[in-house]
């Protein structure tokens, strides 16, 4: 009789552990997905930041550094 009670207690304990592990695994997967999404967003943002645009009111500091000529004032 005692063996059956110990067996039942062990089975219940294992069920509790399995449910806790499932919950933790789901949470870790969500965190991993969020990190991947954030990394993709940052890469996209950096790509947009490094892209040069052509607009009359936009000038880049690199343009002045690389330019050997002095700017002409009209």
**Mean pLDDT score, 4-13:** 95
For the chain, the 3-state helix, strand and coil shares in percent, each to the nearest 5, are: 75, 0, 25
Portion of the chain with pLDDT greater than 90, in percent: 54
Asked, for residue 73, whether it belongs to a domain, the answer is: no
Residue identified by tokens 């069920």 is 15
Instruction: With a cut of 70, say whether residue 71 has pLDDT above it.
Output: no
The Cβ of residue 22 has, within 10 Å, a number of other Cβ atoms equal to: 10
Q: What domain count does the chain have?
A: 1
Q: What is the pLDDT of residues 25-52, one digit of tens each?
A: 999 999 999 999 999 999 988 887 777 7
pLDDT at site 46: 85
Average pLDDT of the chain to the nearest whole number:
82
Q: What is the pTM of this model?
A: 0.50
CA 41 to chain centre: 7
Domain that holds residue 31: 2-66
């Amino acid at each position: 009789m005692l063996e059956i009670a110990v067996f039942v207690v062990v089975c219940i304990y294992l069920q509790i552990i399995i449910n806790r592990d499932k919950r933790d695994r789901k949470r870790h997967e969500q965190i991993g997905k969020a990190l991947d999404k954030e990394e993709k967003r940052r890469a996209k943002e950096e790509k947009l930041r490094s892209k040069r645009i052509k607009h009359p009111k936009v000038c880049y500091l690199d343009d002045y550094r690389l330019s050997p000529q002095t700017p002409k004032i009209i």
